[in-house]
Amino acid sequence: MTEIRMLSTSGILGYGYAEESLKIGMAREPHAIGADGGSTDPGPHYLGAGTSFTSRLSVKRDLKLMLLAAMAAKIPCIIGTAGGAGGEPHLQDTAALVREIAREEKLSFRMALIHAEPDRAMLREAVTAGRVKALVKLPPLDAGTIDRAERIVAMMGPEPIARALDGGAQVILCGRSSDPAQWAAVALRAGIPPAVAWYAGKMLECGAEPAVPKEPDCLLVTLRDDHLVCEPPNPIRRCTPLSVANFALHENASPIHHTEPGGMLDTSEVSFDPVSDRAVKVSGMRWMPAAQYTVKLEGVERDGYRAITICGTRDPVLIGQIDDYLATHRAKVSAKAAAFGVPPSAYRMAVRVYGKDGVMADWEPTPAVTGHELGFIIEVVGDTQDIADAVLAMARTSLLHADFPGRLCKEGNMAFPFSPSDIALGPLYRFSVFHTLALEDPCAIFPIEYESV
Partner 1 sequence: MARIREIAQVCKSKNAGPFIVTIDVLFEDHALYHRVKATGVLNAALFAKLYGVAEEDVLFTHYDAAAAFKASLPRLVAAGGFGDTDVYGAQQHAPLLDVEIPLNEAG
Toward partner 1, which CB reaches closer, 190 or 377?
A: 377
For position 423 contacting partner 1 by CB under 8 A, the verdict is no
Toward partner 1, which CB reaches closer, 100 or 303?
A: 303
For position 358 contacting partner 1 by CB under 8 A, the verdict is yes
Contact between 196 and 227 under an 8 Å Cβ cutoff? The reply is yes
Please, which of residues 207-246 interact with partner 1 by CB under 8 A?
Answer: 242, 245-246
Where does this chain touch partner 1 (CB under 8 A) — which range of 89-97, 100-108, 344-352, 444-452?
344-352
106, 130, 363, 370: which one binds partner 1 (CB under 8 A): 363
For position 45 contacting partner 1 by CB under 8 A, the verdict is yes
Toward partner 1, which CB reaches closer, 21 or 81?
A: 81
Toward partner 1, which CB reaches closer, 90 or 189?
A: 90
For position 96 contacting partner 1 by CB under 8 A, the verdict is no
Toward partner 1, which CB reaches closer, 230 or 448?
A: 230
CB of 305 to partner 1, least distance (A): 11
For position 283 contacting partner 1 by CB under 8 A, the verdict is no
CB of 281 to partner 1, least distance (A): 13
Question: In whole angstroms, what is the distance from residue 301 CA to residue 42 CA?
Answer: 16
1, 129, 136, 368: which one binds partner 1 (CB under 8 A): 136
For position 44 contacting partner 1 by CB under 8 A, the verdict is yes
Toward partner 1, which CB reaches closer, 251 or 323?
A: 251
For position 365 contacting partner 1 by CB under 8 A, the verdict is yes
For position 360 contacting partner 1 by CB under 8 A, the verdict is yes
x/- contact string, 294-323, with partner 1 (CB under 8 A)? Answer: ---------xx-------------------
CA angle 420, 422, 424 (to 5 degrees): 120
348, 369, 375, 404: which one binds partner 1 (CB under 8 A): 348
Toward partner 1, which CB reaches closer, 93 or 379?
A: 379
Secondary structure in 3-state letters for the chain? CCCEEEEECCCCCCCCCCHHHHHHHHHCCCCEEEEECCCCCCCCHHHHHCCCCCCHHHHHHHHHHHHHHHHHHCCCEEEECCCCCCCHHHHHHHHHHHHHHHHHHCCCCEEEEECCCCCHHHHHHHHHCCCEEECCCCCCCCHHHHHHEEEEEECECHHHHHHHHHCCCCEEEECCECCCHHHHHHHHHCCCCHHHHHHHHHHHCCCCCCCECCCCCCEEEEECCCEEEEECCCCCCECCHHHHHHHHCCCCCCCCEEEECCEEEECCCCEEEECCCCCEEEECCEEEECCCCEEEEEEEEEEEEEEEEEEEECCHHHHCCHHHHHHHHHHHHHHHHHHCCCCHHHEEEEEEEECCCCCCHHHCCCCCCCCCCEEEEEEEEECCHHHHHHHHHHHHHHHHHCCCCCCCCCCCCCECCCCCCEEEEEEEEEEEEEEEEECCCCCCCCCEEEEEC
269, 386, 441, 449: which one binds partner 1 (CB under 8 A): 269
Question: In whole angstroms, what is the distance from residue 434 CA to residue 449 CA?
Answer: 26
User: How many chain residues are in contact with partner 1, going by CB under 8 A?
Assistant: 48
Do strands 4-8 and 32-36 pair parallel, antiparallel, or not at all (unpaired)? parallel
For position 271 contacting partner 1 by CB under 8 A, the verdict is yes
CB of 322 to partner 1, least distance (A): 17
For position 256 contacting partner 1 by CB under 8 A, the verdict is yes
434, 443, 451, 453: which one binds partner 1 (CB under 8 A): 434
For position 42 contacting partner 1 by CB under 8 A, the verdict is yes
Toward partner 1, which CB reaches closer, 72 or 361?
A: 361
288, 350, 409, 444: which one binds partner 1 (CB under 8 A): 350
108, 128, 268, 292: which one binds partner 1 (CB under 8 A): 268
For position 293 contacting partner 1 by CB under 8 A, the verdict is no
CB of 427 to partner 1, least distance (A): 12
Question: In whole angstroms, what is the distance from residue 320 CA to residue 325 CA?
Answer: 10
Task: Give just the sign of the alpha carbon dihedral 57, 63, 65, 67.
Answer: negative
Residue from 382, 376, 389 nearest 428 by CA = 382
The binding site for partner 1 (CB under 8 A) comprises 40-45, 135-138, 242, 245-246, 248-256, 267-272, 284, 303-304, 348, 350, 352, 358-363, 365, 379, 381, 428-431, 434
